[in-house]
Amino acid sequence: MSEQPSYTPPRVWTWEKESGGEFAKINRPVAGATHEKELPVGEHPLQLYSLATPNGVKVTVMLEELLALGIKGAEYDAYPIRITEGDQFCSGFVGVNPNSKIPALVDRSENPPVRVFESGSILLYLAEKFDAFLPADRARRTEAMNWLFWQMGSGPMLGGGFGHFYNYAPEKLEYPIDRFTMEVKRQLDVLDKQLAEQPFVAGDEYTIADMAIWPWYGILVRGALYGAAEFLQVHTYENVCRWADQIALRPAVQRGRMVNRTWGDPEEQLHERHDASDFETKTQDKLAAVLGHS
Q: Is 90 exceeded by the pLDDT of residue 262?
A: yes
Name the pairing type of β-strands 76-80 and 46-50.
Answer: parallel
The tens digit of pLDDT for each residue in 159-216 reads 999 999 999 999 999 999 999 999 999 999 999 999 999 999 999 999 999 999 999 9
Closest CA to 24 of 164, 154, 179, 161: 164
pLDDT value of residue 2: 52
pLDDT at position 1 is: 46
Instruction: Provide the pLDDT confidence category of residue 69 given band limits of 50, 70 and 90.
Output: very high
Rounded CA separation 47/123 (Å) = 14
Average pLDDT (24-36) is 87
Give pLDDT tens digits for 126-173: 999 999 999 999 999 999 999 999 999 999 999 999 999 999 999 999
Distances (CA, A) of 192 to 57, 58, 143, 221, 240: 22, 20, 16, 11, 5
β-partners of residue 273 are 78
Q: pTM here?
A: 0.95
The interaxial angle of helices 238-248 and 174-195, nearest 10 deg, is 80
Q: Which residues contact 43 (CB under 8 A, 6 or more apart)?
A: 77, 274
- Other C-beta atoms within 10 Å of 235: how many? 12
Which of 14-18, 62-66, 100-104, 114-118 shows the lowest per-residue confidence on average (mean pLDDT)? 14-18
